[in-house]
Amino acid sequence: MDKAQQDALKKAAGIEAAKLVTDGMIAGLGTGSTVRFLVDELGRRVQEEGLRFTGVTTSRRTQEQAEGYGIKIVDVDDVDRIDVTIDGADEVDKNFDGIKGGGAALLWEKIVATNSDKIVWIVDESKVVDTIGAFPLPVEVIPFGAGHVIKKFEAKGYKPVLRLDADGKKVRTDENNYVVDLHLGRIDHPRELAEDLIDTVGVVEHGLFLNMVDTVIVGDPNGPRVMTNGNK
């Protein structure tokens, strides 16, 4: 699949998911290239159809895009509950276990997700996999002592790589932390891995989102397809 085809599938999933946002809702808005299409569509509806909703964003990038359309954005602590959060994902399997954080927004995304009544992911079909882990697992790490955390990951065979940007500078999250990507190849025991990561001092959060998502809208060449999680 070339990039143009992949973008068309992402866009179709984003437009489909935008239908879930209706007047008066509090909607969580994720981060990434797929969510950009979602926010474009919501912005269009705000401007052309008078849609009125309140957004809670999972990154400064999404906040800027949404506010550019006149969408009202509030802080996560200004709301009691979020009706629905729509976000992208890097991988998802048939057990609805997924990897997120390719865009370094995993921490805010997980905070927003865990305060949402419903979680929806929008992905193109290439993200639906049998076993997660081919996509390097992002882990958000505090800069102080990050070198020691990386050495501990190396000793465990996690194949960590500190994420750098195109200019070779260390990527910083919206909380000013680093991202370490674990090149695991496949993750057969995600729950054990999640526990091990979160127990490592210096780790703030990891990109394993296990059985959290309710619905996945998959951009498919035959039209958006919906996967519903019956085990939550």
Ligand X SMILES: O=C[C@H](O)[C@H](O)[C@H](O)COP(=O)(O)O
Active site residue 16: no
* DSSP string of 120-140, one letter each residue: EEEEEGGGB-SSS-SSPEEEE
Considering beta carbons, is residue 24 or 84 the nearer one to ligand X? Answer: 84
152 marked ligand binding residue: no
CA dihedral (204, 210, 215, 218) positive or negative:
positive
Residue closer to ligand X (CB basis): 43 or 103: 103
Q: CB of 23: closest distance to ligand X in angstroms?
A: 26
Task: Report the residue from 45, 100, 110, 163 that binds ligand X according to the rule CB under 6 A.
Answer: 100
31 is a contact residue toward ligand X (CB under 6 A): yes
The closest of 27, 10, 12, 100 to 62, measured between CA atoms, is 27
Shortest-Cβ-distance residue relative to ligand X: 32
Q: How far apart, in Å, do the first and last CA atoms of the chain sit? A: 32
Q: Cα(141)–Cα(155) distance, rounded to whole angstroms?
A: 17
Residue 200 assigned ligand-binding role: no
**Residue 31, marked binder:** yes
Cα(179)–Cα(198) distance, integer angstroms:
14
- Applying CB under 6 A, which of residues 41, 83, 91, 109 lies at the interface with ligand X? 109
Annotated binding site: 31-34, 87-90, 100-103, 127
